[in-house]
Structure 1
Amino acid sequence: MLENEAFSCFVFYSVLLVIKMYIIAIITGQVRLRKKAFANPEDAQRHGGVQYYREDPDVERCRRAHRNDMENIFPFLFLGAVYSLIGPSLAVARAHFLVFFLFRVLHTVAYLCVLRAPTRSLAYVVAQVPCVSMAVQVLAALASSW
């Protein structure tokens, strides 16, 4: 399967995206500890008392960034895998995967660093372009095979 160069390229960028999601999870945990804002009473009790069983705007921002990744990266994983199996040009496939990866990273930076609008929104939209393109190409390949 890794002999398919487009699929190998897809796997590379997919692993980077999953690592990025793990990093956001770690950042969220670190912000929770720094801000003493825990989601569970037992965690709050362990770190100073039940008064720290609370929400914090910075923790919630991290959580929203992570949730947004799940809403966008999981579909990319499906679309990219199927797309890479329909035999796309390696250069075109690489461009799709790279654009998605770079703009998801920019989206995360814009979210976590509170960059000025519309940076985050533009990053989101640009990252959707390769996903829509892959979906259309997969559907076209399926339609031509019927």
Structure 2
Amino acid sequence: MNLLNLENPVFEVYVIAATLMALKIMLQGWMTVYRMLKSNSGLASPEDLQKGLINKSPDPSQLEVNDYVDRSRRMHRNDLENIPAFLIAGLLFVIVNPELWLAQTMMFGFVAARLAHFWAYATKKPHEVRATFYTIASLSVIYMSIHVLWVAVR
């Protein structure tokens, strides 16, 4: 059986989880843009101070760190640091053909943990709350990676 098609339920789980995480990365970027526009601040680069249709009255203070914008930027950076590893490990996990329940647990667990991490970060929960969700997601990727390595070297 070709494992990389939607007739394989494990691949179907991966496709759903990977698509949700791709959307998470892209929508987080748009959230940052929305926050910059809403606050008219938190711009990232000096060239952003050029007068234009959106920034009609540029001011050097727009380059100062704004926590409202920067919080979203940090969430985006965290996604970019974590989700690509899931995309790679998850696809390799599909190739070793794990049990469906295990794939669902690892992949949907990762997605749920990343969404909970977003919630914790966006609502300024204590670091321990955010770290718990980070840990759950990280352990999912680590487990899938070790599982793949185990199958490959056997």
The residue aligned with 1:43 is 48
- Among 16, 19, 28, the residue aligned to 1:24: 28
Q: Secondary structure at the match of 1:115?
A: coil
**Of the candidates 87, 90, 93, which is equivalent to residue 100 of structure 2?**
90
Alignment partners' CA distance in 1, 2:140 and 2:93: 11
Matching residue's letter, 2:72: C
State whether structure 2 residue 90 is matched by structure 1 residue 80. yes
Calculate the TM-score normalised by the size of structure 2: 0.87
**TM-score for the superposition, normalised by structure 1:** 0.91
Q: CA deviation at 1:125?
A: 0.4
**TM-fit CA distance, 1:42:** 4.3
- State the 1:66 CA deviation: 0.6
Q: Is the 8 A contact 1:41 1:50 kept in 2?
A: no
1:118 match: secondary structure: helix
Identical aligned pairs, as a percentage?
A: 28
**For residue 12 of structure 1, what is the aligned residue in structure 2?**
16
Could you say what secondary structure the match of 1:12 adopts? Answer: helix
> CA separation in 2, counterparts of 1:79 and 1:20?
18
Instruction: Please state which structure has a larger fraction of its residues in helix.
Output: 1
1:89-146 C-alpha deviation (Å, 9 max, x unpaired): 01110111011000000111111221133110100001112111101110111111xx
Q: Give the count of matched residue pairs.
A: 144
User: In structure 2, what residue type is equivalent to 1:121?
Assistant: A
Match of 2:142 in 1: 132
CA RMSD of aligned residues (A): 1.4
* Unmatched 5+ stretches in structure 2: none
Distance 2:45 2:150 in 1: 48
